[in-house]
Structure 1
Amino acid sequence: MKLGSAVRRPVTRATVLAVGIDGARARPDRLVTEEPLEIRVHAPGAEPVPLAVTMRTPGNDFELAAGFCLAEGVVAGPDDIDTIAYCLGGDGEQQYNVVTVRLRRPTRTVPAPRPFLANSSCGVCGKAVVDDIAVACTPVPAGPTVAASVVRSLPERLATQQRVFGETGGLHAAARFAP
């Protein structure tokens, strides 16, 4: 997987396996895209420094990087930022998962890489650079391995354990089920 090789879109077209009462069938769908974004800071007279990797839906990457730098105290406001741009890879190709925030002046302290805690269940947000994400994994075998009846029962089983979501409609959950 080459993460920066194409312009990223917030929606990805995919073929999904829809499981319903009448069985399973493949159908086209549109899925929200989620990818890592590495943010680097480049102060005048210094080398660019990797600041963080976070997950995001592509689009508004520069605004996300600027807001992240503001929230982490790297900048005091928009006047501290000269430019924000996607980085070029070694082959001169744009790396759309890596941005550099170029500062106008070295008036704010650029934190050392990873001075703050970031967590994610997938492990991406704790990385300092996008290249650290790649890991050796066994490919997931093709085909469903769980009975369709079990899959259909999962939303209701999960909902019974999500009191806060039931009240607010806005809280993430994770679950592990065994057939």
Structure 2
Amino acid sequence: MGRVTQRHRITRYRTAEATIRQREDVLAVEEPLELRVNGTAFTVTMRTPGEDFDLAAGFLVSEGAIWAKEQLAALRYCAGVDENGRQTFNVIDAELSPGVVLPDTTMERHVYTSSACGICGSASIDAVSKSAHFRIASPEEAPDPAGALLPELISSLPGKLRASQQVFDRTGGVHAAGLFSYSGELLCLREDVGRHNAVDKVTGWALREDRLPLDRTILQVSGRASFELVQKAQLAGIPVLAAVSAPSSLAADLARTSGITLIGFSRDTGFNIYAHPDRIDLSPGARDRTATVQSAGT
């Protein structure tokens, strides 16, 4: 498979000491991946190689094209070589099961999307207003019989995510998405130069493991919570999305209408809830317990 990191010769300058050094640095690899569907070119995205089948499957979930394992008959690399005659692993063909038809909105896509791209890869704003196959009931409609999530669990997730980011440790240049259970267990973590790709790799893993919809899970991401990430969570049936940075206004609107609990500025010191706070136990007892846990950790 393709390399995840690559060494480059750099010049490092330090202002305080006015020093200049020549050294090697480790960079995250970014390469194009062409996705074909039933042999026909569908899209090209820039990504970090690794878990490419998860990325392809998750991309199709995010397009509203498939939502069950049995709808995806096969994934395979197509032959391709670089200038040195080595297999590139940069083209994947997804074979859909008989009877599975791509939605009309996916047929007008632009051919290229960047690693930072989400909604910009669609032909129009209307094209991303997909009908989600899974309905996420809001906590007001269907309270969880096991009770609300504890604040200390939510606050612990960014640290758990960061502790598992092996590629980031080496490069400092990739995003991460981690899927957690309601008990705080890390189910799947994926890294990529594109934050949308990292989420697609998680949802693709879930589809291939026959886990959709991802009810009673929390998606923790390393960046901001955009409209596209909320939409990806909705299409995968994820009820809670937490981000270390801020959400956009459109992301908050979609979270409210889709039943998703949206959390921003997620830290070990606290967080903001932008939609459906009732999934989190904010009672005085829970707040006191959280304060005690955080105090013990300092």
Q: Report TM bin, short chain.
A: 0.5 to 0.7
Q: How many residues align?
A: 120
Match of 1:72 in 2: 63
Alpha carbons 2:45, 2:112 under 8 Å: kept: no
Distance 1:10 1:77 in 2: 29
Distance 2:87 2:56 in 1: 17
Higher mean C-alpha deviation, range 7-16 or range 81-90:
81-90
Alpha carbons 1:34, 1:55 under 8 Å: kept: yes
Match of 2:37 in 1: 41
Q: Give the drift of 1:88.
A: 0.8
How do 1:18-33 residues align onto structure 2 when only pairs under 5 Å count? Answer: 18-20=12-14, 21-33=17-29
Q: Give the drift of 1:74.
A: 2.0
Could you tell me which of 98, 107, 112 is aligned with 1:112?
107
Matching residue's letter, 1:55? M
Structure with larger RCO (C-alpha < 8 A, sep 6+)? 1
Q: 1:93 to 1:29 in 2, by over 3 A?
A: closer
Q: Deviations over 1:39-61 (max 9, x none)?
A: 1101xxxxx12111112111111
Match of 1:98 in 2: 91
Q: Are 1:14 and 2:8 matched, yes or no?
A: yes
How do 1:81-160 residues align onto structure 2 when only pairs under 5 Å count? Answer: 81-89=72-80, 94-109=87-102, 111-112=106-107, 114=109, 118=113
Alpha carbons 2:81, 2:87 under 8 Å: kept: no
Matching residue's letter, 2:63? E
Q: Give the drift of 1:27.
A: 0.4
Query: What is the aligned-residue RMSD (CA, Å)?
Result: 3.7
Q: Deviations over 1:95-152 (max 9, x none)?
A: 4111111112132226425269946679xx86xxxxxxxxxxxxxxxxxxxxxxxxxx
Matching residue's letter, 2:91? V
Unaligned 5+ residue runs, structure 2? Answer: 122-223, 225-242, 247-298
TM-score (norm 1): 0.54
Query: In structure 2, the residue corresponding to 1:38 is in which secondary structure?
Result: strand
**Structure with higher helix content:** 2
Distance 2:8 2:77 in 1: 26
Distance 1:38 1:64 in 2: 11
Q: 1:73 to 1:115 in 2, by over 3 A?
A: farther
Matching residue's letter, 2:33? L
TM-score (norm 2): 0.34
Query: In structure 2, the residue corresponding to 1:69 is in which secondary structure?
Result: helix
Match of 1:147 in 2: none
Alpha carbons 1:37, 1:53 under 8 Å: kept: yes
